[in-house]
A and B are shown apart, each in its own frame.
Chain A
């Protein structure tokens, strides 16, 4: 099984409210990633976990949080959603953090903030 699963597929949120997105993988991959994808833009890396170590991109450091309670599960948390957070959120995993490793993506969660 090489699937990465994301829930929910669609999510509606109100401005100023928190949002929690969930991702799981059963491939025993060490590394899990969260990307943000907006229409006509490249997927943008938000953060990733290598084992239990969280790495966040400098320009999104304060906007997104994440937790990884075990190897299979990773969440993305937005403390206070703004309109600019409306996007597709893609979770991915790879065997380890080596640059040659292939990323396996989930089907994404489409977040709409109103």
Chain B
């Protein structure tokens, strides 16, 4: 069975610093996709970045990057040069890829608070 675990409930950082969030996952599939989504104060959930299991390079989009450690089943999210508007709940998610129609499984989320 697939499972996604985010152990950090909340993180507080100062503006312009770097924040790192942890996520570990469980799957029996050899092919899978890992995602990070952000839920803003308005409740909207927005896609941030994706890592394909077969790719060794860490994905990077803007000031978001991933630390993919496949042997540890770990996919950390790194936000550099944080801004006030980065304050949000961040969800890690996984979807197994061997066949279509698989559910996107979420972690419980990490709340990030960025202070000026």
A: residues with CB less than 8 A from B are 33, 40-45, 48, 50, 55, 57, 88, 90, 92, 96-100, 102-108, 110
The residue that B95 contacts in the complex, of A50, A88, A99, with Cβ under 8 A, is: A99
B: residues with CB less than 8 A from A are 4, 31-33, 35, 37, 42-47, 50, 52, 91, 95-97, 100-109
Query: B91 touching A43 by the CB < 8 A rule?
Result: yes
Q: How far is the CA of A107 from the CA of B91 in the complex (A)?
A: 16
Max chain B CB contacts within 10 Å: which of A33, A99, A105, A110?
Answer: A99
Closest to A57 in B: B103
Q: Name the prevailing secondary structure of the A interface residues.
A: loop
The residue that B100 contacts in the complex, of A42, A97, A102, with Cβ under 8 A, is: A97
Query: B107 touching A42 by the CB < 8 A rule?
Result: yes
The residue that B43 contacts in the complex, of A50, A99, A108, with Cβ under 8 A, is: A108
Pick 30 A–B contacts, CB within 8 A, sort by A. A40-B108, A41-B108, A42-B4, A42-B91, A42-B106, A42-B107, A42-B108, A42-B109, A43-B91, A43-B106, A48-B101, A48-B103, A50-B100, A55-B101, A57-B103, A96-B100, A98-B100, A99-B31, A99-B33, A99-B95, A99-B97, A100-B52, A100-B95, A100-B97, A103-B37, A103-B104, A104-B47, A105-B44, A107-B43, A108-B44
Query: B44 touching A107 by the CB < 8 A rule?
Result: yes
